[in-house]
């Protein structure tokens, strides 16, 4: 099986799992660590879709790929986003999600309060994200997956 199809299949499984966690498991269990897991899984699913798009476009010689992931992401934004019908709002949410997950990895301290994730930077500057925003990220992940699958298949 082609690598881009494997990535797409994995992305679908990841989205289904994260969707179940946010809409079924979290309301039942109320375990705050689950919100972090959902965020990371959503980011991974979107990253898999982006990789799938890049590999598909490379296979059909529409783009060049490089070892630098930042450069590949720039190519994705410039050449693939318009072709796949990804909106500016969706791109902004993707960038926001990626940034928040990166800040979470660097954060020395984090906690959940009133269904909001709060991470502190090393300078103790707080950043918060609500469960509604996490659901918004999930909606974007589903949309990106759907657009990717429709274009590739």
Residue 91 structural domain: 3-105+132-152
Domain count, the chain: 1
CA angle 72, 73, 75 (to 5 degrees): 65
Examine residue 118 and state whether it is found in any structural domain, yes or no. no
Examine residue 73 and state whether it is found in any structural domain, yes or no. yes
Examine residue 125 and state whether it is found in any structural domain, yes or no. no
pLDDT means per 10 residues, the chain with 153 residues, are 88 97 93 90 97 94 92 95 95 96 89 84 86 95 96 84
Examine residue 47 and state whether it is found in any structural domain, yes or no. yes
Examine residue 117 and state whether it is found in any structural domain, yes or no. no
Examine residue 144 and state whether it is found in any structural domain, yes or no. yes
Question: Per-residue b/e over 122-153, b at no fewer than 16 CB within 10 Å?
Answer: eeeeeeebebebbebbbebbbbbbebbbeebe
Alpha-carbon torsion angle 98, 103, 105, 107, nearest 10:
-170
pLDDT at 98: 96
Examine residue 137 and state whether it is found in any structural domain, yes or no. yes
Question: Tens digits of per-residue pLDDT, 23-50?
Answer: 999 999 988 889 999 999 999 999 999 9
Sheet order of strands, 116-120 included: 109-113, 116-120, 126-130
Examine residue 123 and state whether it is found in any structural domain, yes or no. no
Token pair of 127, please?
């950043």
Average pLDDT, the chain: 92
């Amino acid at each position: 099986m082609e690598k881009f199809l494997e990535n797409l299949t994995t992305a679908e499984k990841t989205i289904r799992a994260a969707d179940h966690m946010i809409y079924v498991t979290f309301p039942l269990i109320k375990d705050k660590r689950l919100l972090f897991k959902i965020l990371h899984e959503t980011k991974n699913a979107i990253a898999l879709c982006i990789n799938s798009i890049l590999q598909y476009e490379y296979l059909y010689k529409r783009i060049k790929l490089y070892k630098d992931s930042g450069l590949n992401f720039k190519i994705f934004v410039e050449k693939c986003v318009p072709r796949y019908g990804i909106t500016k709002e969706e791109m902004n949410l993707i960038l926001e999600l990626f940034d928040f997950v990166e800040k979470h990895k660097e954060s020395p301290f984090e906690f959940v309060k009133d269904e909001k994730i709060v991470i502190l930077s090393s300078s103790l500057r707080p950043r918060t994200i609500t469960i509604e925003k996490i659901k918004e990220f999930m909606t974007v992940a589903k949309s990106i997956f759907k657009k990717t699958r429709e274009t590739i298949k």
